[in-house]
Amino acid sequence: MEIVSVETYLLLLLLWLFSTLFVHSYLKISRRNNNSTVPPSVPSRLPPTPLALPLVGHLYLFGPLQHRSFRTIARRFGPLVRLRLGSLGYLVSVCSPAVAKELFKTNDINFASRPRLAGLEYIGEGDSRFAFASYGPYWKFMKKLCVNELFSTRKLDRMVRIRREELHWLLGSLSERAGAQEPADMDALLTALTNNIICRMAMSTRCSGNMNDAEVCKKVVQELIEIAAKLNLVNVLGFLGGMDVLGYGKRLTDVHGKFMTMVERIMKEHEEKQQRKRKQMSGTGGDGEEYHEQEQEEDLMDILLKASQDDKAEIKLQRDEIKVFLQDLFIAGTETASVAMQWALAELINHPGAFKKMRDEIERAIGNSCRVVEDSDIPNLPYVQATIMETLRLHPAVPLILRESSRDCTVAGFDLPAKTKACINVWAINRDPDEWKDPDEFHPERFLNSDGTLRIGSGDMKGQNFHFLPFGGGRRMCPGTSLALRVMHVTVAAMVQCFDYRLVGGATKVNMRETGGFTLRMAHPLHCIPLPRTNKSFYLCKRNDE
């Protein structure tokens, strides 16, 4: 529901003008119904709801930043509010930790599915996509693959070389900007970093190494999210829903097709590699001679192809299901981590004291070893961990989480029928003033004890700390949490260890305005000039990249 373009504002203006023609008669009907002494035929206690307008429902209450609008409504009507958003119908807005606990714990299975969004018909049906599949055998099977094969501790440990190489690529890119005194586009660089990590783990290919693949990946991450948000806005507005008058559906189809073509090519390469491996195990390379191929770690594509060929597998994966699963993984893994790291660096630049504390902690932990921070250092860097926690508290990558109930239930004393859509406002929950002191302030120390150690349980991100939900909660919470944290910890720490930063145009503070959309992006992406440090770590970054 992103509101960013001129055509979006025009649509809202037209609907507003049209709806005002009905307001007078609507208010008359509402007053007559409210004064009626006839009891309702089906007694139920629904959550409170503001006055709705014809056609647009409660859209008139929303500004460009939906998470902030939901919080404003909650402050007036309560933590569980029933709203009608155009053609999407009714949903309930959840803005408190207590109500979130009822959804993610008490009613976890009931709210383990996601509602169908506009645009899925252009990029694959909902139940064939892991991100939007209903809670059932298919979703459970794919979740198991994620947890056991791609994001397991064993797998992440074995993939540390990939993350280290991509980190050195990032530091080398910053070194080049520093040498030329040129601004670095941190949005582009951090997106490329996460692109490459996910691509190499999933498909053993580095997107930035192939210009065609790099362009496809960039469009997938940026255009799919941007266009899908606009398409859902048009769908919410009602009568324009399935007409694609602005061409967003066609654009989605085009970029989706390019990605699917790329993955099909990579899939065929993997199948050829598997065939060569089978021939190697049989002792010949197909031409009568012994064949040898360098041993490689199995990536997710290999695992998915094996599952699709296994007649005894719980789920028989189809070719297109593999492709859309990789697309979901690619979009989620790239966008969320890169956005969070950009916010973290921006906060540290705006808070020089926190920047210095982090650097001092890193230098104490590493000592005179003259190397870039690594995964193994993170347990000894509590301030680094606290800084990432505080960044995710203030700027959760996905500020609004959507769920849908599978049956009737009661939440916070209110009756919710089956198929109720629930919008959990993670952004508002993470800033609840009843749970956090100075909730809008950047203060990493809130996660630390007086001696500088981490406060046990304060930064739990496994979905059981219901006033801190950066990755969601319940069984449907983000399966890539472990990978995201590993990437964020080391990358942010290395950027602080190796460089100082100067803002462009003589600015002294980063503009921290947000923009609306599925992810919580900076309205003005971070551009800054990296400054070389005089210590050895800067030159080490340069040598590692070379």
- The predicted-structure confidence for 328-378, as pLDDT tens digits, reads as follows 888 788 889 999 999 999 999 999 999 999 999 999 999 877 899 999 999
With a cut of 70, say whether residue 183 has pLDDT above it. Answer: yes
Nearest Cα neighbor of 426 from 449, 447, 397, 450 is 397
Higher pLDDT, 417 or 126: 417
Q: What pLDDT score does 543 carry?
A: 44
Q: Is the pLDDT of residue 537 over 60?
A: no
Angle between helices 352-366 and 319-350 (to 10 degrees): 110
Distance CA(56)–CA(89), nearest Å, equals: 10
pLDDT category at 466 given cuts 50, 70, 90 is very high
| Partners of 30 in the β-ladder | none
What is the band of 4 on the pLDDT scale with cuts at 50, 70, 90?
Answer: very low
298 compared with 217, residue with greater pLDDT: 298
pLDDT band at 56 (very low <50, low <70, confident <90, very high): confident
* pLDDT for res 26: 46
Q: Is the pLDDT of residue 289 over 70?
A: no
Is the pLDDT score of 531 beyond 80? yes
Instruction: Tell whether the model's pLDDT for residue 174 goes beyond 70.
Output: yes
Q: Which residues are annotated as a binding site?
A: 478
Residue-by-residue DSSP string for 176-211? HHHHHT--EEHHHHHHHHHHHHHHHHHHS--GGGSH
CB 68 within 8 A of CB 79: no
Task: Name the residue with higher pLDDT: 33 or 79.
Answer: 79
Distance (Å, rounded) from C-alpha 115 to C-alpha 91? Answer: 10
End-to-end CA distance of the chain: 44
Closest CA to 123 of 331, 268, 315, 271: 331
Cβ–Cβ contacts within 10 Å for residue 242, how many?
12
H or E segment at 424?
strand 421-425
The percent of residues in the chain predicted with pLDDT above 90, rounded, is 47
Query: Distance between CA atoms of 208 and 217, rounded to whole angstroms?
Result: 9
Question: Angle at the Cα of 37 (from 34 to 43), degrees rounded to 5?
Answer: 80
- pLDDT (tens digit, 9 = 90+) per residue, 494-509? 999 999 999 998 899 9
Q: Across all residues in the chain, what is the average pLDDT?
A: 82
In this prediction, residue 3 has a pLDDT band, given cuts at 50, 70 and 90, of: very low
- Which of 123-132, 365-374, 399-408 is most confident? 399-408
Closest Cα to residue 114, out of 477, 503, 430, 402? 402
* pLDDT given at position 516: 76
Give the least confident one: 181-195, 245-259, 328-342, 522-536.
245-259
Known binding-site residue numbers for heme: 478
pLDDT at 465 over 80: yes
Under 8 Å between Cβ of 390 and 447? yes
Name residue, tokens 């919080």: 71
Distance between CA atoms of residues 346 and 341, nearest Å: 9
Residue 415 is classified by DSSP as E
Distance in angstroms (rounded) separating the CA atoms of residues 79 and 141: 34
Nearest to 459 by CA among 397, 521, 382: 382
Question: Of all residues in the chain, what percent carry a pLDDT higher than 70?
Answer: 78
Q: Are the beta carbons of 528 and 504 closer than 8 angstroms?
A: yes
Q: What is the mean pLDDT of residues 79-107?
A: 92
Query: Phi first, then psi: what are they for 107, rounded to 5°?
Result: -115, 35
496 compared with 303, residue with greater pLDDT: 496
User: What is this structure's pTM?
Assistant: 0.86
